[in-house]
């Protein structure tokens, strides 16, 4: 099949290597995983600890900030998004963006339905 | 798959002889293309999961703001130590899953099987603790529905609780909290049960050596799913267990 | 292209055309080879058969509704039965026909061929999607047989959760399952379009049909799960009765509305976008011109998908949402009109100076452009706050969305089915009969739904089985139109079935269209291409096609 090598080339030509949809396979080492794991455990302890201090309105903000941080490092390292193509990064972003659209656009109704009372 | 092969397709089959992996599906031009398609597909599936849980998270956000006191009081009925331990267990399970992906990538079969077993065991531990918590709610009549009992929230002192007493109609709103608690953790647990089922299948195939010769896509993609379930819990834990642990000072 | 003066049906390669010996239809035999197939073309055929089945069930309910409305008195059925009729009509037509109509049949069949791939990225998930659809459909029929459901297709809480004792749970579960079928279709398309394009097939060389499906798939993947959770909450609310949607227990019925319309408004674009893709292909082919403003049309699909997520509250203006929020949503609603108008204008400019021929798909496409424009413009009326309060929940809104969904989408679906019928079956449909069907459909449609605009404007509310006598003339017109419309839909069913055996043999490219799907045999081989094509020209390049056919030695596969 003489034309086969040509086909191969088309998938590995220069345009494809710089293709934003393409990323080489990166193996994350156990060392990185362990560091992330330790951070996650520390954050869990921190969030329980922070909940016991009375910080008023900052309690939920801190709790959510910690949870978001944990979520982000899980996504970046455990789920390898840091080493993925731009396409995957955009996809992940799109998911959270749409969730925020659902929340904020719906809240625009609830908050302004009864100002200050919601 | 296609039993009757036409002549042109026979040509095609020959064209693809260079592909060594038996898992390679012939409608993909290269194994690389197949791997990236699989991972992208998994991510899109997780996107649907984000939106699926997103609806529940929004319902939680709404009612938590509307009925803050009831949510605080009800939330304080959950056990923080159990929740925290469960968080740690799930994170550890996710850690082993990440190591399993690594083991598959470096083609270490025994390590891979070991990590998958550990992932599974911790998954069961999480569900065990969850079941225990559910059982406690059952005994306290905190499961929403006909048998739901609000007396504990109306008169906490009688139950030896240092909570702010709630008016009867406010106390009724604790039922909304417990409904969301069961809906969210239940949906999360359902995802874990499905995940554990897939883990068994992966363990059998890993033991057979399917994933230790460079074909890691199923392990990787399942890893994505398992970590996603982790992330949901990472948010559920502070939102459900830690709303406000010092209600009287509030 | 040397201007073709005559109809392109008489192109030379067709007179000598023969059916290819090997194709996806005769590659394997027996029912099981279909039920366990992973070939996207066979799954598309399975989908085509099943959605046609559900279309005629949904259509039967439409007929019953129009029959009841023939007279002002409630004389055919009781009000409860009438409620069940319009609920079943809505649920079947929306979830089991319109949402999968073009994507799961034509999209499934054509997207891999158009981008030069052998199959969709996940053939087994594609088959799973069809099975989920069948399960969803069966559950819906189960609910129907057990006694029906009368919530309306919108499942409005707390009506559906507290006040009705029909088969809401079965139906909600059916929609949940059918929703997953749609998610898997969308997911498969997105991955396929990103990952499986043949060499040279850049994003801006893809046919606009593919762009439209890409945009619709994004909506399917991101919107449908929210509907799923809304349905689950309805089921839980009915089973346990907590009150997330029950105001007496502290819940909020509008929460359900928000979640439901967060999906169900984008769902409108899930239904219409693939239809717009079909129209782009048809208009270009039968004008022998590249689509005017290709890039604008491509991006307008994506823009519709994106804007579609920001407008859902316009379904809730009279339900007690915040006025401020309603104002924002009303303004955002106007935004969607922009990309839709871009499409209509660009199709018109494509027609300008084109060598237009009036084959059946083109007639349907003209029907689409006219009816969709009316449907879209009345949508702008309804999107503006003051008008909406006057017109919503009347027959005006019924007419509006039937103009978009039936006048728009169904016309596009029929245009597509006729356009690609030669490719799917290898045989032509009978041209004069099908032209007659297209005209009958158009006349029937106008007669059915134009009077409903007037009825709605005069204040006749929707979803009632009786009405004041002064509305009778318009209602009789509408029912008469529905009868004609019904005939218009039955005709293709009959002559297309006839053509399977007796139709003229089509040949590879009866329309002399430029898409990659037309450069293979009809019906295609199991994996579409004997060798993966290399895309070395832009989309809709009729000069390329002319030189290709001139240089090529005609051969029969």
pLDDT digits 0-9 by tens, C513-526: 999 999 999 899 98
The CA distances from residue A101 to A98, B27, C222, C311, in Å, are: 5, 37, 11, 11
Q: C225 contacts in A (CB within 8 Å)?
A: none
Q: What's residue C128's pLDDT?
A: 97
Q: Is the pLDDT of residue C507 over 90?
A: no
Q: Do C321 and A109 touch (CB under 8 A)?
A: yes
**Cβ C344 vs Cβ C373: under 8 Å:** yes
Q: Is the pLDDT of residue C182 over 50?
A: yes
- Give the pLDDT band of residue B248 (cuts 50, 70, 90): low
Chain C neighbors (3+ CB pairs < 8 Å): A, B
Q: Do C321 and A7 touch (CB under 8 A)?
A: no
Element spanning C123, H or E? helix C123-146
Q: What's residue A13's pLDDT?
A: 37
Helices (H), C147-207: 168-195
- Give the pLDDT band of residue B127 (cuts 50, 70, 90): very high
Q: Is the pLDDT of residue C154 over 60?
A: yes
Does the domain at C37-556 match CATH 1.20.210.10? Answer given as: yes
Query: Touching check for A41 and chain B: CB below 8 Å?
Result: yes
Q: What 3-state class would DSSP assign to C394?
A: strand
Q: Which residue has the higher pLDDT, A118 or B228?
A: B228
- Give the pLDDT band of residue A55 (cuts 50, 70, 90): confident
> What's the first-to-final CA gap in chain A, in angstroms?
70
Residue-wise pLDDT tens digits, C251-306 = 999 999 999 999 999 999 999 999 999 999 999 999 999 999 999 999 999 999 99
- Give the pLDDT band of residue C551 (cuts 50, 70, 90): low
Query: Touching check for A48 and chain C: CB below 8 Å?
Result: no
Q: What's residue C555's pLDDT?
A: 46
- Give the pLDDT band of residue B22 (cuts 50, 70, 90): low
Q: C310 contacts in A (CB within 8 Å)?
A: 101, 105
Q: Tokens 């509030």 label which residue?
A: B250
Q: Which residue has the higher pLDDT, C156 or C556?
A: C156
Q: Is the pLDDT of residue A116 over 70?
A: no
Q: Do B227 and A78 touch (CB under 8 A)?
A: yes
Q: What's residue B193's pLDDT?
A: 97
Residue-wise pLDDT tens digits, B161-193 = 878 888 988 898 999 999 999 999 999 999 999
Residue-wise pLDDT tens digits, B30-65 = 888 888 899 999 999 999 999 999 999 999 999 999
**Mean pLDDT estimate for chain C:** 92
Residue-wise pLDDT tens digits, C113-144 = 999 999 999 999 999 999 999 999 999 999 99
- Give the pLDDT band of residue B16 (cuts 50, 70, 90): very low
Q: What's residue A20's pLDDT?
A: 58
Give the pLDDT mean for C329-349: 94
Q: What's residue C282's pLDDT?
A: 97
Give the pLDDT mean for A64-84: 95
Q: Other C-beta atoms within 10 Å of A49: how many? A: 9
What are the residue boundaries of the structural domains of chain A, listed by start?
A: 28-111
Give the pLDDT mean for C89-97: 96
Q: Other C-beta atoms within 10 Å of B157: how many? A: 9
The DSSP string of C442-489 is: HHHHHHHHHHHHHHHHHTPBSS-S---GGGHHHHHHHHHHHHHHHHHH
Give the pLDDT mean for C333-339: 92
- Give the range among A95-104, C239-248, C418-427 with minimum mean pLDDT: C239-248
Helix C472-502 and helix C431-458, axial crossing angle in degrees, nearest 10: 160
Q: What's residue C165's pLDDT?
A: 85
Q: What's residue A118's pLDDT?
A: 63
Q: Is the pLDDT of residue B244 over 90?
A: no
Give the pLDDT mean for C429-458: 96
Sign of the Cα pseudo-torsion (B200, B203, B208, B209, in order): positive
CB nearest to B44's CB, from A34, A45, A91 = A91
Q: What's residue A7's pLDDT?
A: 41
Q: What's residue C516's pLDDT?
A: 93
Q: What's residue C100's pLDDT?
A: 95
Chain center to CA of C70? 28
- Give the pLDDT band of residue C370 (cuts 50, 70, 90): very high
Q: What's residue B4's pLDDT?
A: 38
Minimal Cα distance from B49: which residue of C? C225
The DSSP string of C510-546 is: TT---SGGGGS-SSPBTTB-SS-----S-TT-HHHHH
d(CA A27, CA A17): 18
Query: Touching check for A35 and chain C: CB below 8 Å?
Result: no
Q: Other C-beta atoms within 10 Å of C519: how many? A: 18
**Mean pLDDT estimate for chain B:** 87
Residue-wise pLDDT tens digits, C11-60 = 545 667 788 888 999 888 999 999 999 999 999 999 999 999 999 999 99
Query: Touching check for C247 and chain A: CB below 8 Å?
Result: no
- Give the pLDDT band of residue B13 (cuts 50, 70, 90): very low
If you count residue pairs, one on A and one on C, with CB atoms under 8 Å apart, how many are there? Answer: 45
Q: Is the pLDDT of residue A5 over 80?
A: no
User: What are C46's two structure tokens?
Assistant: 């399975």
CB nearest to B40's CB, from A11, A87, A95 = A87
Minimal Cα distance from C125: which residue of B? B41
- Give the pLDDT band of residue A117 (cuts 50, 70, 90): low
Chain center to CA of C113? 20
Q: Do A113 and C532 touch (CB under 8 A)?
A: no
């Amino acid at each position: 099949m003489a034309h086969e090598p040509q086909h191969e080339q088309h998938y590995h030509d220069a345009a494809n290597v710089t293709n934003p949809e393409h990323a080489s396979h990166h193996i994350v080492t156990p060392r990185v995983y362990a560091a992330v794991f330790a951070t996650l455990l520390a954050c869990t302890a921190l969030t329980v600890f922070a909940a016991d201090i009375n910080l008023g309105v900052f309690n939920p903000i801190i709790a959510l900030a910690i949870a978001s941080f944990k979520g982000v490092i899980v996504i970046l390292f455990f789920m390898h998004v840091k080493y993925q193509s731009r396409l995957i990064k955009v996809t992940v972003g799109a998911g959270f963006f749409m969730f925020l659209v659902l929340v904020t656009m719906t809240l625009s109704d609830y908050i302004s339905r009864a100002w200050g009372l919601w | 798959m296609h039993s009757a092969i036409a002549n042109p397709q026979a040509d095609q089959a020959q064209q693809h002889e260079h592909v060594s992996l038996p898992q390679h599906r012939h409608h993909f031009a290269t194994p690389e293309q197949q791997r990236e398609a699989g991972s992208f597909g998994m991510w899109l599936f997780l996107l649907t999961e984000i939106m699926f849980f997103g609806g529940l998270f929004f319902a939680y956000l709404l009612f938590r703001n509307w009925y803050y006191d009831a949510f605080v009081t009800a939330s304080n009925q959950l056990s923080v130590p159990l929740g925290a331990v469960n968080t740690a267990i799930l994170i550890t399970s996710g850690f082993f899953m990440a190591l399993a992906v690594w083991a598959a990538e470096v083609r270490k079969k025994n390590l891979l099987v070991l990590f998958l077993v550990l992932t599974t065991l911790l998954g069961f531990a999480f569900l065990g603790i969850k079941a225990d918590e559910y059982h406690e709610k059952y005994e306290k009549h905190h499961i929403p529905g006909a048998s739901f009992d609000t007396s504990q929230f109306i008169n906490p002192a009688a139950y030896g609780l240092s909570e702010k007493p709630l008016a009867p109609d406010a106390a009724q709103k604790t039922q909304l909290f417990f409904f969301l608690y069961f809906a969210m953790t239940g949906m999360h647990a359902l995802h874990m049960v499905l995940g554990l089922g897939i883990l068994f299948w992966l363990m059998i195939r890993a033991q057979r050596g399917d994933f230790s010769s460079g074909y890691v896509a199923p392990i990787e993609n399942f890893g994505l799913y398992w970590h996603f379930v982790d992330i949901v819990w990472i948010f559920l834990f502070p939102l459900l267990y830690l709303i406000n642990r010092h209600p009287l000072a509030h | 292209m040397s201007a073709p003066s005559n109809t392109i049906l008489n192109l030379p390669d067709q007179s000598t055309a023969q059916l290819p010996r090997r194709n996806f239809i005769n590659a394997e035999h027996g029912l099981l080879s279909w039920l366990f197939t992973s070939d996207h073309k066979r799954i598309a055929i399975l989908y085509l058969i099943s959605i046609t089945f559900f279309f005629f069930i949904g259509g039967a309910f439409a007929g019953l509704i129009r029959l009841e409305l023939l007279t002002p008195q409630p004389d055919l059925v009781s009000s409860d039965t009438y409620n069940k009729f319009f609920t079943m009509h809505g649920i079947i037509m929306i979830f089991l026909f319109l949402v999968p109509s073009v994507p799961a049949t034509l999209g499934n069949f054509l997207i891999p061929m158009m981008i030069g791939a052998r199959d969709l990225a996940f053939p087994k998930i594609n088959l799973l999607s069809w099975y989920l659809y069948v399960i969803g459909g069966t559950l819906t029929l189960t609910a129907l047989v057990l006694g029906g459901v009368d919530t309306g297709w919108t499942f409005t809480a707390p009506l559906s959760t507290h006040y009705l004792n029909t088969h809401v749970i079965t139906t909600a579960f059916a929609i949940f399952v059918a929703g997953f079928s749609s998610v898997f279709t969308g997911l498969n398309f997105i991955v396929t379009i990103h990952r499986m394009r043949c060499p040279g097939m850049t994003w801006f060389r893809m046919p606009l049909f593919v762009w439209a499906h890409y945009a619709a798939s994004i909506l399917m993947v991101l919107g449908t799960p929210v509907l799923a959770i809304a349905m689950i909450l309805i089921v839980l609310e009915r089973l346990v009765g907590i009150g997330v949607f029950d105001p007496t227990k502290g819940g909020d019925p509008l929460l359900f509305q928000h979640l439901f319309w967060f999906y169900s408004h984008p769902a409108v674009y899930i239904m219409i976008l693939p239809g717009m893709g079909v129209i782009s292909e048809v208009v270009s082919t039968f004008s022998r011109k590249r689509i005017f403003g290709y890039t604008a049309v491509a991006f307008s699909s994506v823009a519709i998908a994106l804007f579609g997520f920001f407008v859902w509250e316009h379904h809730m203006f009279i339900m007690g949402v915040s006025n401020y929020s309603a104002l924002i949503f009303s303004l955002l609603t106007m935004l969607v009109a922009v990309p839709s108008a871009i499409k209509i204008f660009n199709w018109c400019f494509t027609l300008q100076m084109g060598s237009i021929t009036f084959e059946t798909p083109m007639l349907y496409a003209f029907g689409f452009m006219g009816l969709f424009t009316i449907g879209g413009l009345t949508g702008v009326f309804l999107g503006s706050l003051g008008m909406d309060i006057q017109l919503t929940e009347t027959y005006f809104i019924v007419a509006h969305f039937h103009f978009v969904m039936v006048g728009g989408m169904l016309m596009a679906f029929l245009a597509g089915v006729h356009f690609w019928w030669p490719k799917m079956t290898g045989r032509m449909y009978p041209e004069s009969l099908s032209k007659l069907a297209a005209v009958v459909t158009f006349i029937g449609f106008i007669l059915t739904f134009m009077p409903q605009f007037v009825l709605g404007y005069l204040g006749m509310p929707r979803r009632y089985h009786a009405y004041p006598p002064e509305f009778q003339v318009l209602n009789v017109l509408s029912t008469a139109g529905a009868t004609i419309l019904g005939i218009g839909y039955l005709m293709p069913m009959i002559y297309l079935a006839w053509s399977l055996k007796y139709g003229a043999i089509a040949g590879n490219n009866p329309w002399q269209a430029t898409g990659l799907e037309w450069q293979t045999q009809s019906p295609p081989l199991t994996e579409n291409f004997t060798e993966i094509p290399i895309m070395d020209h832009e989309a809709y390049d009729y000069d390329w096609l002319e030189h290709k056919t001139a240089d090529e030695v005609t051969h029969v596969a």
